[in-house]
Chains A and B, each alone.
Chain A
Amino acid sequence: MSNFYNPKRTYSIFKPGQVASFKISRSKIDLFLQCPRCFYMDRRLGVARPPGFPFNLNNAVDTLLKKEFDIHRMAKSAHPLMEEYKIDAIPFRNEKMDDWRNVRKGIQYIHKPTNLLIMGAIDDAWINPKGELHIVDYKATSKNGEVTLDAPWQICYKRQMEIYQWLFRKNDFKVSDIGYFVYCNGKADKKAFDKKIEFDVKIIPYKGKDDWIEQTILDLHNCLNQEDIPEMDSDCDYCRYRKVAAQESYKFLKKEKGEE
């Protein structure tokens, strides 16, 4: 685990007054909204949260789905799922698609008032006969019952979609408010395994509203420019853990000193 964690980064650190634009990915916007302190420590001071193990199986589903939709992209045809859900669109064909899907590149936009380079990597985009894009994100999970977007933590999925929509609009594409989640649910029924996990694939439309983004970027930029470390979010698991761990250690050190 530790071999891919560099606790004190020396790059991708914001310096107030810097002339070059500073890159902010959509996941860092989400981090800012989750906990301004964690965000500030990461992007201003170079101390990121320790990473967990990667979600290999989810990434594999994404990879395979991309291949599947690419077949229809090349053929300029609708995917059967789109027909099933009566979505009048086909996978969008564009020379930049590979860049947009690349986490190191993604779709980018320089936000002039702050000189922040906002970026995000999409899974897919579909185009309808009106020439509007539907942003598409693939999700994979395994749970009993229907997959939905109703759980409180899924706000991060909605924000993700809205940031992509905003980025494409800023890049002068016509973008529909409706984005789609291709949601794959590993089936819990226990038929013979036969070398594969079967999924129910469902398309969940989501009507995005990107009106919060402009203000959030301004807030995030203010946060980066301030000299004091911002307060932690009271729900931040990482800050809470750090606080409690420090308190427990402190109690112990105090006790030991008292005994001396």
Chain B
Amino acid sequence: MKNKEIKISPKALNLYFECPLCFWLEKNRGVKRPAPFPYQLNTEVDEVLKSDFDKHRAKGGSHPLLGANNIPAKLFQNQKLLDEWRDNSRGLCYYDEKLKTTLFGVVDDILDFGDGKLAPFDYKSTGKSVVKIYDRFQLQMDVYTYLLEKNGYSTPRKGILAFYVVDKENPFEGKLPFRKEIHIIDTDPSYIQKIFKEAIEFLQKNAPKEHSRECIFGKWIKLMENQKT
């Protein structure tokens, strides 16, 4: 197994939880589930937010959104390092010598709580009316916390999610208006090493015979095969 080429992201760990066989096929054989159309508008919101936060970062790092929500932190000041952590081809990385594999995450932003304490800060945009914190958001924040700690930073064990929710009350007039909702969640990096190791060791074994019971692709494949008699 050429582990050096394998990089594991929170999304991959999520897939491992969802369906080990799908994870195995993707990482070992490059067989990926069919991709949906790209979510261009969400990507655009992320881009616009990044540049907005970068402007405040350059001016000392306070931001009205943080003040309004009583978050005692400023935007992480090291723009160069943040740009590296934001880069899809690099990211915030941790190379595990024993597993010979990299765990990485591509962050949106980082908050500095003082005394060298850093916390992941992620933007989420949605057109739904109600904000939901999915399990995968929790996993993502737990992994980022783990990665920050492995990179020698201390953390307040928090993840900050900034939801941008479309305000659908008014006509369009060329703009998509958002209301903002901040959620702070507790993070727990203590189990990440274990599942990271488990996932890597899993990849070195033979493929499981079946998709997990919850895997919608597995259910679909099975039904498609069964119809073919």
Contacts and interface: CB of A to CB of B under 8 A. Distances in A.
Do the two chains bind? yes
Interface of A: 1-2, 5, 7-8, 41, 45, 47-50, 52-53, 55-61, 63-65, 67-68, 71, 140-143, 184, 186, 188, 190, 192-193, 195-201, 229, 237-238, 241-242, 244-246, 248-249, 252-253, 256
Contacts of B21: 249
Nearest to B227: A45
Interface string B27-61: 00101111111011111110111011001000000
B207 A249 contact: yes
A237 B34 contact: yes
Closest 10 CB pairs of A and B: A56-B127, A60-B127, A52-B36, A142-B44, A68-B171, A190-B51, A64-B172, A57-B41, A193-B52, A7-B219
A249 B176 CA distance: 46
Nearest to A140: B41
Given A56-B127, A242-B224, A196 B177 contact: yes
B223 to A, nearest CB: 4
A56 B47 contact: no
Contact of B125 (A1, A47, A57, A61): A57
A54 to B, nearest CB: 8
B137 to A, nearest CB: 13
Nearest to A142: B44
Contacts of A197: 41, 44-45, 48, 175-176, 178
Contacts, number: 158
B227 A41 contact: yes
A2 B214 CA distance: 7
B44 A50 contact: no
B10 to A, nearest CB: 16
Determine chain B's interface SS by DSSP, over half rule. mixed
A5 B18 CA distance: 15
Given A50-B216, A196-B178, 13 more contacts: A2-B215, A5-B216, A7-B220, A41-B227, A47-B224, A49-B34, A56-B166, A142-B41, A196-B175, A197-B48, A241-B31, A241-B217, A248-B207
B78 interface: no
Nearest to B21: A249
18 contacts: A2-B216, A7-B220, A45-B223, A47-B223, A55-B127, A56-B127, A57-B45, A60-B127, A63-B168, A68-B171, A71-B171, A142-B43, A193-B48, A195-B179, A200-B174, A229-B228, A248-B31, A252-B209
A41 to B, nearest CB: 6
B225 interface: yes
Contacts of A193: 48-49, 51-52
A246 B220 CA distance: 12
B25 interface: yes
A71 B223 CA distance: 48
A196 B33 CA distance: 33
A46 to B, nearest CB: 8
B216 A1 contact: yes
Identify which of A56, A242, A252 gathers the most chain B CB atoms within 10 Å of its CB.
Answer: A56
A57 B42 contact: yes
Contact of B227 (A143, A229, A244): A229
Contacts of B126: 56-57
Contacts of A50: 216-217, 219-220
Contacts of A64: 166, 168, 170-172, 176
B31 A47 contact: no
Contacts of A5: 216, 219
